[in-house]
Amino acid sequence: MNTSSPAAEPLILPSPVRIGWIGAGVMGAPMCEHLLRAGYALTVFTRTPSKAQVLLDQGARWEESPAAVAAEADVVCTMVGFPQDVRRIYLEPDGLLPQARPGQVFVDFTTSEPTLARELSSVASSKSASALDAPVSGGDVGAREGTLSIMVGGDARAFEAVRPIMSVLGRTVVYQGHAGCGQHAKLCNQITIAGTMIGVCEALLYAQKAGLDGETLLRSISSGAAGCWTLDHLAPRILKRDFEAGFFVEHFIKDMGMALDEAKRMGLLLTGLSLVRKLYVAIQANGHGRSGTHALLLALEDLSPTFLPADSSPHALSK
């Protein structure tokens, strides 16, 4: 006798599916462009209307509030800055979830708190809707090229329903488990990046001190066991002293803080992450909160008073 429980009915979205999008910044705007090119009907809202103009030029529609976006969407996607932004957009009386409809799916691509993701899922479920936490990794390059890694938590049926949408945005789309698991996976990603970033920056400082040519060095170590995304995409920017953001320092500090808070709740001591976060707080205090995460080099330079002047070696990093 078959004692297994019956499979849950699949969640079927209307066809064609209507997508609402809130947040058109460094990451959100190129993600929206991919959806428009894929033929999806897209309605957008962003706090700075001018940021949405490139999307409107490509066929997106504008609405005056998040609630207005949700009112005409089957799937509502958000990509904003901080957990407090997520909480306000989703939970305030004029926000997304108080007006949620049965069968509607909300997808938060923001890196946020696992506890908040579980709260959003619970509130959505009470409305017979679904809320997925789906933070992404890959930075501005991955957003532009459609090669993001997307880590998803929440209702499995809702995930399967919106998987085709996510596949337009990312090369790797993985369901991690119940609500909050996507955010936990992203925090693991950020812990890894923090350790990798300090290693890459210290290696480049060492190379300069040793008189090595940075680009020649990267040709060797990028192809060996040290090879990683940070070496491929951010080390060349560091060599050019280009600290423009693909991902803001202030957002990374937020992510590391959330990881440390979660670790504390689990009884974990993450000493490496604590050190790196302190260095990032230092460069934020020096006015680099809106610089890219690879600006960690600046904090490490400040700790090296014997650092070679820029003109002391033909191979020194330009300052």
Burial 55-87 (b: 16+ CB within 10 A, else e): beeeebeebeebbbbbeebbbbbbbbbebebbb
- Cβ neighbours, 10 Å, residue 34: 18
- Cβ neighbours, 10 Å, residue 194: 25
Please list the active-site residues: 186
In angstroms, what CA-CA distances link 119 with 103, 254, 271, 295? Answer: 18, 19, 29, 34
Angle, vertex CA 43, rays to CA 49 and CA 58, nearest 5: 75
H or E element in which residue 150 lies: strand 148-153
Furthest-apart CA pair in the chain: how many Å? 80
Annotate 215-227 with DSSP letters as a single string. Answer: HHHHHHHTTSTT-
Token pair, residue 158, equals 């809702």
Of 14, 46, 17, nearest to 29 by C-alpha is 46
Contacts of residue 73, Cβ cutoff 8 Å, sequence gap at least 6: 18, 19, 20, 43, 104
Contacts of residue 204, Cβ cutoff 8 Å, sequence gap at least 6: 214, 217, 235, 238, 239, 297, 317
In angstroms, what CA-CA distances link 277 with 100, 271, 283, 296, 313? Answer: 37, 10, 10, 10, 31
DSSP letter (8 states) at residue 248: B
250 touches 289 (CB < 8 A): yes
